[in-house]
């Protein structure tokens, strides 16, 4: 009789048991050389004065150990008031949302793990209700994954055997589709709580496309927790004020330039970083953070593939995009993506003496229209 | 009432024996006859009361057994939240003992008034519950149903505020209020 070969993952569980070394298991879903090629391609875009040519798309801002450390430093900067206010308001908002996911036996998939502080709050509550749950942080950056998933796991005492970090660019539909299918096989019919917190949705070129991509992967029993920055004012003054929020902190400027610093040979001069606020489609404020060649001479930038790009005077590189959404925009986004709000918590920023139009919103969303989710045939039959 | 009845009969027997040994006394006969008649009359009532009590005990025992059986049915794995979602025929709750209890007249109109009301409600609940199972099966066994809709049915049935949960709650209440047979 011959012994059956034992699968490596089953062996690994035994091998890592009681091992004090800081191992972390990551499921990688993409070839990282493709990502470098994408970044290089994006930096070869056409000339643009408005940040619409060369760009660093969302996700690449956190890609690699340099940008990850820069991000961690920015979040700890006491002058980065938006981040501080966000962490405080999240606890209040989560308390309102929590009753809707308390008893469902949810698994937790965190899209864009961030610092892991918000994940810790969510994980702590979900784990109490469902000790068999899985925690699956998803991020394009393996460094962010390792840093961001440590905080919730250690903070809550969550078993590492129930954590599966996934390195994946979830803004690509094929990746999201594969992730959704893999998770379905992993958890069966159990519901999953997906989260996209920290105003991550605002960082994508098309917020609507990003939200639609996530929505398509949701099953009827799943829920999406979405945190976005909001505004009640939509004029140029508000747009300028939104840009100023990010301008206040040196650590944030270091973070947005870190991808250029670590992937090109461009010498970073902070005088060339512009924070440009604009009103987008009359229903949101958009802040573009761009590197701007404000000299009279062309500047040559070396790329990771050893080619060079000439940055002419007035040319720009879009480093980071963020937004503040109006209520109308949020309604439009959720309606177009076929999402139904189950709970909506809002609070305004409180750190300024003068009233500010800015705030943060936390939405718990269900896939499908209200008619489909609230009044399905099954629900009607089994209603009391 | 039973003690009085047996006491009167015993006394009549003693007087009858005395009458046998001392037949001269003419008052023995009416005394023995009267006592026997009174004992016979009370005996009729005693028999009726005993029969009623036995019938009530039997009915309550049958209802209790049926409720226990329904508890077992509601704990069936086909109703469990983690059961894989698939088309299935669900077990039905039974109310035959409850029906019998209500039509038999074994339950007292005054003493069991609250219990009778509860049993009527339980009977309605079971009929509505079974009807919902019929509708669920008709819907889930149709050709056009998708896996998502199938999952929605199982979720709707097992969620915390569903009619299933209300039925289970009512059954537990009824079991706690049922008098010991």
Do residues B73 and B130 lie in contact, with contact meaning Cβ atoms separated by under 8 Å?
A: no
Judge whether B149 and A378 are in contact, CB under 8 Å.
yes
CA distance A61 to A366: 29
A219 or A23: which carries more pLDDT confidence? Answer: A219
Dihedral sign of CA atoms B140, B145, B150, B152 in order = negative
The answer to whether B33 and B15 have CB atoms below 8 angstroms apart is: no
Question: What is the average pLDDT across B125-140?
Answer: 93
Q: What is the CATH number of the domain that holds A315?
A: 3.40.50.150
The pLDDT assigned to A1 comes to 46
Instruction: Select from B150, B162, B165, B168 the residue whose CB has the most chain A CBs within 10 Å, as the one to mutate to test that interface.
Output: B162
> In 3-state terms, what secondary structure has residue A209?
helix
Task: Single out the residue of A325, A104, A102 nearest to residue A211, CA to CA.
Answer: A325
3-state secondary structure A26-79: CEECCCHHHHHHHHHHHCCCCCCCCCCCEECCCCHHHCCHHHHHHHHHHHHCCC
Whole-angstrom distance, CA of residue A216 vs CA of residue A175: 12
Q: What percent of chain A has pLDDT over 90?
A: 40
Answer whether A306's CB lies under 8 Å from A266's CB. no
User: Tens digits of per-residue pLDDT, A135-144?
Assistant: 999 998 888 8
Q: Indicate if ipTM > 0.85.
A: no
Name the average pLDDT for chain A.
Answer: 87
Evaluate if residue A353 carries a pLDDT over 70.
no
- Residue B45: pLDDT band by 50, 70, 90 thresholds? confident
Q: Which of A21-25, A207-211, A343-347, A348-352 has the lowest mean pLDDT?
A: A348-352
pLDDT band for position A363 (cuts 50, 70, 90): very high
Residues of chain B contacting residue A383, judged by C-beta atoms under 8 Å apart: 162-163
Asked whether residue A12 is domain-assigned, the answer is: no
| Paired sense of beta strands A223-231 and A166-167, if any | unpaired
Q: Is the pTM of this model over 0.80?
A: no
Q: What's residue A371's pLDDT?
A: 40
Query: What is the number of domains present in chain A?
Result: 1
For residue A18, being part of any structural domain is answered with: no
Radius of gyration of chain A measured on its C-alpha atoms: 22
Report the C-alpha gap between A313 and A297 in whole angstroms. 6
Instruction: Note the residue count of chain B.
Output: 181
pLDDT band at B60 (very low <50, low <70, confident <90, very high): very high
User: In this structure, is residue A19 part of a structural domain?
Assistant: no
* Structural domain contains residue A216: yes
Mean pLDDT of chain B: 87
Does some domain include residue A316? yes
Among the partner residues B81, B135, B163, nearest to A384 by beta-carbon distance = B163
Q: What confidence score (pLDDT) does residue B84 get?
A: 57
Q: What is the pLDDT of residue A379?
A: 83
Q: Average pLDDT of A196-213?
A: 92
Mean pLDDT of B120-147: 89
pLDDT of A236-293, one tens digit each? Answer: 999 998 898 888 788 888 999 999 898 899 888 888 999 999 999 889 999 999 999 9
Residue A295: inside a domain: yes
Q: Percent of chain A beyond pLDDT 70?
A: 95
**Where in the sequence is the domain holding A145, given as residue range(s)?**
26-384
Confidence tier at B116 by pLDDT (50, 70, 90): very high
Most A CBs within 10 Å, among B156, B167, B169, to test the A interface? B156
pLDDT at position A370 is 44
pLDDT tens readout for residues A90-132: 988 998 888 888 777 899 999 998 888 899 999 999 998 889 9
Within a domain: residue A92?
yes
The better pLDDT of the pair B119, B15 is held by B119
Residue A188, in any domain of the structure: yes
Report the percent of chain B where pLDDT is more than 70.
Answer: 97
Return all residues near B60 (Cβ < 8 A) that are at least 6 apart. B101, B178, B179, B180, B181
Question: Exposed/middle/buried for B18, CB within 10 Å: 0-12, 13-18, 19+?
Answer: middle
Contacts of A367 in chain B (CB under 8 A): none
Tokens read off for A63? 């890609």
Averaged over B60-75, what is the pLDDT?
Answer: 94
Residues of B whose CB is below 8 A from A381: 132, 135-136, 139, 153, 156
Q: Which of A316-344 are b and which e, b meaning 16 or more Cβ less than 10 Å from the residue's Cβ?
A: bbbbbbbbbbbeebbebbbeebbbbebbb
Structure tokens at A220: 């009827």
Which chain B residue lies closest to A381 (C-alpha atoms)? B132
Q: How confident is the model at residue A342 (pLDDT cuts 50, 70, 90)?
A: confident
> Residue B66: pLDDT band by 50, 70, 90 thresholds?
very high
pLDDT (mean) for A147-171: 87
**A221: distance to nearest CA of chain B, Å?**
8
Upper half-sphere CA count for residue A217 (Cβ side, 13 Å): 27
Cβ atoms within 10 Å, residue A360: 26
Confidence category of residue B159, pLDDT binned at 50, 70, 90: confident
Per-residue pLDDT of A190-202, as tens digits, reads 899 999 998 999 9
Q: What is the pLDDT of residue B144?
A: 72
In A281-381, which ranges are E strands? 284-292, 299-302, 308-311, 316-325, 339-348, 358-367
Helix ranges restricted to H, chain A: 8-16, 32-42, 65-76, 81-97, 117-129, 142-156, 173-187, 207-217, 236-247, 250-263, 327-336, 370-374, 377-382
**pLDDT above 60 for B106:** yes
């Amino acid at each position: 009789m011959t012994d059956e070969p034992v699968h490596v993952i089953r062996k690994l569980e035994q091998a890592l048991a009681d091992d004090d070394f800081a191992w972390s298991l990551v499921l990688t879903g993409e070839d990282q050389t493709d990502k470098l090629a994408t970044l290089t391609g994006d930096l070869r875009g056409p000339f643009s004065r408005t940040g619409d040519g060369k760009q660093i798309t969302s996700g690449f801002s956190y890609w690699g150990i340099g940008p990850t450390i820069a991000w961690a430093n920015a979040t700890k900067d006491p002058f980065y008031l938006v981040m501080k206010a966000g962490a405080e308001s999240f606890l209040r908002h989560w308390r309102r949302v929590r009753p809707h996911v308390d008893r469902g036996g949810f698994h937790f998939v965190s899209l864009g793990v961030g610092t892991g502080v918000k994940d810790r709050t969510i994980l702590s509550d979900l784990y109490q209700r469902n000790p068999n749950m899985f925690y699956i942080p998803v991020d394009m950056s393996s460094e962010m994954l390792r840093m961001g998933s440590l905080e919730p796991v250690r903070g809550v005492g969550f078993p590492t055997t129930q954590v599966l970090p996934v390195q994946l660019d979830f803004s690509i539909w094929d990746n999201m589709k594969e992730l959704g299918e893999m998770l379905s096989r992993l958890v069966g019919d159990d519901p999953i709580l997906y989260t996209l917190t920290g105003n991550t949705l605002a960082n994508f070129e098309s917020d609507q496309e990003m939200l639609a991509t996530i929505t398509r992967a949701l099953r009827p029993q799943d829920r999406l927790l979405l945190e976005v920055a909001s505004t009640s004012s939509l004029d140029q003054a508000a747009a300028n004020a939104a840009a100023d929020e990010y301008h206040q902190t040196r650590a944030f400027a270091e973070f947005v330039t870190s991808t250029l610093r670590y992937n090109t040979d461009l010498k970073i001069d902070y005088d060339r970083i512009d924070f440009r606020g604009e009103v987008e489609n009359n229903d949101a404020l958009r802040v573009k953070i761009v590197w701007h060649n404000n000299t009279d001479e062309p500047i040559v930038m070396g790329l990771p593939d050893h080619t060079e790009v000439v940055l002419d005077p007035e040319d720009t590189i879009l480093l980071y995009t963020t937004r503040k959404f109006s209520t109308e925009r949020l309604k439009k986004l959720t309606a177009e993506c076929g999402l139904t709000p189950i709970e909506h918590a809002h609070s305004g920023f409180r750190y300024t003496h003068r009233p500010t139009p800015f705030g943060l919103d936390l939405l718990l969303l269900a896939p499908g229209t209200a008619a489909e989710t609230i009044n399905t045939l099954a629900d009607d039959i089994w209603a009391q | 009432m039973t003690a009085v009845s047996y006491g009167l009969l015993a006394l009549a027997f003693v007087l009858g024996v005395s009458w046998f040994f001392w037949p001269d006394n003419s008052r023995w006969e009416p005394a023995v006859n009267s006592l026997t008649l009174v004992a016979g009359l009370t005996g009729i009532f005693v028999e009726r009361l005993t029969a009623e009590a036995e019938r009530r005990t039997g009915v309550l025992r049958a209802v209790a057994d049926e409720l226990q059986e329904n508890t077992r049915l509601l704990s069936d794995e086909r109703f469990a939240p983690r059961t894989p979602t698939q088309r299935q025929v669900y077990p039905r709750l039974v109310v035959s003992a409850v029906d019998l209890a209500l039509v038999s007249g074994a339950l007292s109109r005054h003493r069991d008034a609250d219990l009778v009301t509860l049993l009527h409600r339980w009977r309605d609940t079971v009929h509505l519950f079974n009807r919902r199972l019929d509708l669920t099966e008709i819907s889930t066994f149709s050709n056009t149903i998708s896996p998502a809709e199938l999952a929605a049915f199982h979720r709707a049935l097992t969620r915390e505020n569903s009619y299933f949960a209300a039925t289970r709650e009512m059954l537990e209440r009824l079991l706690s209020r049922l008098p010991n047979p």
